[in-house]
Amino acid sequence: MFESLQERLGSILNGLTGRGALSEADVSAALREVRRALLEADVALEVVRSFTDKVREKAVGAAVLKSIKPGQMVVKIVHDELVEMLGAEGVAIDLNAPAPVVIMMVGLQGSGKTTTSAKIAKRMTERQGKKVLMASLDTRRPAAQEQLRQLGEQTKVATLPIIAGQTPVDIAKRAVQAAKLGGHDIVILDTAGRTHIDEPLMVEMADIKKASTPHEILLVADSLTGQDAVNLAKNFDDRVGITGLVLTRMDGDGRGGAALSMRAVTGKPIKLIGTGEKMDGLEEFHPKRIADRILGMGDIVSLVEKAAETIDAEKAAAMAKKMQSGKFDLNDLADQLGQMQKMGGMGGIMGLMPGMGKMKDQMAAAGLDDKMFGRQLAIISSMTKAERANPDLLKHSRKKRIAAGSGTDAAEINKLLKMHRGMADMMKAMGGKGKGGGMMRGLM
Ligand code: GDP
């Protein structure tokens, strides 16, 4: 859905090379692409407009951080605004009401209401020790009540016994009554859906609401829904008054467009997301993760954030110069190892880069892990200044003392020295071609 946004942004961002502050022209060019891509991805026009307005307001004149490219700065602003529009912080289902707390699930047929009802019931039973009762109010689709009963059996959650011929409102009342008598903390009402929104459905939802006074009314919506997402959310909210959204099928190809539209037009929080057909396929909603997904830029944003926090441009420049001249001693290695630790270690850095997960596993298998960095730093700090500048000074007896001092052994010291030699040679070779720039820059 949003692949095109990623591509478009990628190409224009490369074009932004100025320094200092972001100019109106830079921002406008970027926003034109953002706008077009969002519209093509079926995000509602009103949502797109308000989104781009907000980004423009924040971006024009914004100072470009030292050591960050203007394009990256725009990505960051677009990203932050996406997070903001998606609700900034996650919001949980509110159970703060006298028992039994009624949760009413609404939405179109096939959106995942029944599945999600059972998932929520299971989670509250297992994680919060709640006693939950589920009831299907879908009298129109013959198999619906039976479907919920079976899910109840599977998840070990009680379901209201089925009585043929009752109306949805009757069932809702009976469920609340049964929960009171049975000492249930929570009642989940799984209402009937339609293939599209119609008047009788809205009337039925309003009647059920009146009869059961739900504390939460959750609109369950398929995240693959396109243009209709806005109408759907608006209609349910206007007519029934929803308290939150649950987006299903987030495990599919949907890239979060529906999330953006629905959250923006209703202002209601997305409380949970469905991530699979199985009963444990339910997760809390993290706006930041969805924004990353919509933007589709790996985790460039957090990489930029972390880099901004930790990388000192002057230091990097000095290091680059040193490397080019072929001088890279153990002091420099210790500096680099320290930088890497600050950025969350090997795992932190690799995890931020798309497609690097596998490499991380391979490195771990080879014993290259963060613990090793810690040991290497300990070894280097046990050396004298002269030894760090010229590792050839280290004779066997010194290595043994350093090993004792750093809680390692001579073999590990030799391994470190070998690694350093390899790196120094490599950097010298790179420096000769004028490509020096430090490990960190290489990783960027
Ligand atoms: P309802 O008509 O709204 O009650 O929808 P159902 O709960 O019967 O779900 C319709 C279909 O969507 C079923 O086959 C579910 O297994 C599937 N489904 C529901 N939620 C998810 C989800 O988060 N991910 C995936 N992949 N499938 C889901």
248 CA closest ligand 1 atom index: 23
Task: Report pLDDT digits (tens) over 388-424.
Answer: 888 888 888 888 888 888 888 888 888 888 888 887 7
Task: Report pLDDT digits (tens) over 224-248.
Answer: 876 778 888 999 999 999 999 999 9
ipTM: 0.98
3-state secondary structure of 156: coil
Task: Count the neighbouring beta carbons within 10 Å of the beta carbon of residue 16.
Answer: 20
3-state secondary structure of 58: helix
Q: Is the CB of 277 under 6 A from ligand 1?
A: yes
**Which distant-in-sequence residues (6+ apart) come within 8 Å of 400 by Cβ?**
410
- Binding site for GTP: which residues? 107-114, 190-194, 248-251
Q: Is the CB of 139 under 6 A from ligand 1?
A: no
| CA distances, 89 to each of 45, 97, 305 (Å) | 25, 22, 19
Output the CA 263–ligand 1 centroid distance in Å: 21
Q: In the prediction, which pLDDT does 276 show?
A: 92
Q: Is the pLDDT of residue 177 over 90?
A: yes
What's the mean pLDDT in 10-22? 63
Q: Is the CB of 191 under 6 A from ligand 1?
A: no
- Give the CB-side neighbour count of residue 174, counting CA atoms within 13 A: 15
Banded pLDDT at 314 (limits 50, 70, 90): low
Higher pLDDT, 73 or 106: 106
* Of the ranges 69-78, 103-112, 322-331, 428-437, the best mean pLDDT one: 103-112
Output the CA 281–ligand 1 centroid distance in Å: 10
281 CA closest ligand 1 atom index: 23
Q: What is the DSSP letter of 268?
A: P
Question: Nearest Cα to 62, choosing from 77, 81, 49?
Answer: 77
117 CA closest ligand 1 atom index: 7
Task: Look up residue 237 and give its amino acid.
Answer: D
Residue 191 tokens, joined: 């209402």
Q: Is the CB of 119 under 6 A from ligand 1?
A: no
Q: In the prediction, which pLDDT does 444 show?
A: 34
Higher pLDDT, 270 or 65: 270
- Among the residue ranges 76-90, 180-194, 347-361, the one predicted with the least confidence is 347-361
Question: Nearest Cα to 235, choosing from 265, 213, 215?
Answer: 265
> Cα angle at 236 between 238 and 251, to 5 degrees?
140
Higher pLDDT, 256 or 227: 227
What's the mean pLDDT in 124-136? 95
Per cent of the chain over pLDDT 90 is 33
Q: Is the CB of 438 under 6 A from ligand 1?
A: no
Q: In the prediction, which pLDDT does 443 show?
A: 39
Task: Report pLDDT digits (tens) over 317-336.
Answer: 666 676 667 677 888 888 77
Task: Report pLDDT digits (tens) over 50-60.
Answer: 889 988 888 88
Q: Is the pLDDT of residue 94 over 70?
A: yes
Q: Is the CB of 145 under 6 A from ligand 1?
A: no
CA 400 to chain centre: 47
Burial class from Cβ neighbours inside 10 Å (0-12, 13-18, 19+) for residue 407 reads exposed
Q: In the prediction, which pLDDT does 128 show?
A: 92
3-state secondary structure of 167: coil
Q: Is the pLDDT of residue 171 over 90?
A: yes
Please name every residue paired with 105 in a beta bridge, in sequence order, or none if there are none. 190, 218
- Pocket perturbation via mutation, ligand 1, pick of 248, 250, 283 by most ligand atoms within 8 A of CB: 248
Output the CA 167–ligand 1 centroid distance in Å: 24
What are residue 270's phi and psi, to 5 degrees? -85, 115
Please name every residue paired with 219 in a beta bridge, in sequence order, or none if there are none. 106, 245
Q: Global pTM? A: 0.67
- Cβ contact 212:135 at 8 Å: no
> What CA–CA distance (Å, rounded) separates 124 from 186?
9
Q: Whose CA is nearest to atom 14 of ligand 1?
A: 277
